[in-house]
Amino acid sequence: MTLLATVDGLPLRHLRRGKVREVYEVDATRLLIVATDRVSAFDVVMRQAIPFKGAVLTQLTAWWLRVLESEVEHHLVTADARRIVDAVPALEPHLPVLRGRSMLCRRTDVFPIECVMRGYLAGSAWKEYQSMGTLAGEPLPAGLVQSERLDPPRFSPATKAESGHDENIPRAAVAAQIGMEAAAMLEQASQRIYTRARDVAAARGLILADTKLEFGRASEGRVLLIDEVLTPDSSRYWDATAYVPGAPQPSFDKQPLRDWLDDERRAGRWDGDAPPPDLPDALVLSTSERYLDVFRRITGTDLELLELS
C-alpha cells in the first residue's frame, strides 16, 4: 500500500482536485474517484499524508453503500482495484497506486445542494441556532444546548460553495433551485439514509452527529446517491461513551490533529493559513490509527488491504 499525497500520470482526463480526492473522467458515463492520503484541518490541507486514510474513506464508502442498498440507488460500480483495471485496461500499470483507494462510479449531473442531515446540534447548526434560534432558517425549540440530540433529525441543506464555507439554506430554496419533486426526493432519501446509518453506528457505540450527502442524476434520469458516503471526512462521529451535551464533542478521528494545530497557533508558530506546520511523525501515526479505528468500529472488521488487489 503506497502512501499517497498526489496522483501522477493517470491516463485519464483530470476533472477536479478536491482537498482529499482526485476525480477523473473515464468516459461519458463513468468517473474514477481516487482518495489520496491527504488530510485537512481548519480548511487547510496538511503537508504530511496519513497512512491508510484514502483506503479507509473509500472502503468505508463501499461498506456503507452495501448496507444502504435497500434504501437508495447509488453511483458505485466497484471499489476493487482489480475490477477497475479489468473495466479500464489503460489503468493496469497504475494498479498499485489505485489499490484500496479508488472507486469506479457512474457519472451524474450533480444537484448543487449539500444534503446535510443533523441528529445533533453541532458545527454551523449550533452557530445558527445560537444567533437566531433556527436551523436552515426553520425554528427549533428554545433552550437547546450545544451537541444536544435533535428529535426528529433535521434535513438542513446547504449550497455547494466553490470556495469558502457552504451556506445553510431553507428547504424552500432547494425546491426553487431544483424543483419540488427532486427536492422532496432528496430530502426523503437523506432522512432514510441518516436514520439507518445512525442506528448502525449506535449499535457500534458511535454517535453519528451529522452527515453530508450528495445526489446526482444519471444519464437515463435516475437519481443516485454519489460521492463519499458516511466517511469521517463527510460526517461527525462521536464516541458515545464520552458524549456530554452542553459542550463541543471531540472529533473521533481528527481531534489530536486539531488540538496540536491549536497549540501551534497559540504558540505563535502558525497563523491558521497555508502553509501549515509540519506534523510530527507520532501525530501522523496516531491519526492514521484513528482512521483505521473508525473503520474497525463501524464495520466490525479490520481494513483488509490484501483483499483489495
Ligand X SMILES: Nc1ncnc2c1ncn2[C@@H]1O[C@H](COP(=O)(O)OP(=O)(O)O)[C@@H](O)[C@H]1O
For position 13 contacting ligand X by CB under 6 A, the verdict is no
| DSSP type of residue 280 | P
Nearer to ligand X, 121 or 229 (CB): 229
Residue 6 CA to chain centroid, in angstroms?
19
Q: For ligand X, which residue has the nearest CB? A: 18
Distances (CA, A) of 49 to 2, 45, 167, 280: 11, 10, 29, 11
Per DSSP bridges, beta strands 13-17 and 21-27 are antiparallel
Question: Which span sits near ligand X by CB under 6 A: 102-110, 172-180, 271-279, 298-306?
Answer: 102-110
Find the distance separating the first CA and the last CA of the chain, reported in whole Å. 10
Nearest approach, Cβ of residue 183 and ligand X (Å)? 18
Residue carrying the nine cell digits 449506535: 202
Which has the closest alpha carbon to 64: 75, 49, 51?
A: 75
Nearest approach, Cβ of residue 127 and ligand X (Å)? 22
Nearest approach, Cβ of residue 37 and ligand X (Å)? 12
For position 18 contacting ligand X by CB under 6 A, the verdict is yes
Which residue from 55, 88, 104, 105 is in contact with ligand X, where contact means CB under 6 A? 105
For position 19 contacting ligand X by CB under 6 A, the verdict is yes
For position 166 contacting ligand X by CB under 6 A, the verdict is no
For position 216 contacting ligand X by CB under 6 A, the verdict is yes
For position 254 contacting ligand X by CB under 6 A, the verdict is no
Which has the closest alpha carbon to 11: 106, 85, 81?
A: 85
Nearer to ligand X, 62 or 144 (CB): 62
The C-alpha atoms of residue 31 and residue 104 are separated, in whole angstroms, by 6
Which has the closest alpha carbon to 248: 234, 258, 233?
A: 258
Nearer to ligand X, 39 or 308 (CB): 39
H-only helix segments in 112-254? 123-132, 171-178, 180-203
Which residue from 4, 7, 21, 58 is in contact with ligand X, where contact means CB under 6 A? 21
User: Which 53-92 positions form the footprint of ligand X (CB under 6 A)?
Assistant: 75
For position 227 contacting ligand X by CB under 6 A, the verdict is yes
H-only helix segments in the chain? 53-67, 81-87, 95-98, 123-132, 171-178, 180-203, 255-266, 281-299
Which residue from 53, 99, 107, 254 is in contact with ligand X, where contact means CB under 6 A? 107
Q: Which residues bind ligand X (CB under 6 A)?
A: 16, 18-21, 23, 31, 33, 75, 105-108, 110, 214, 216, 226-227
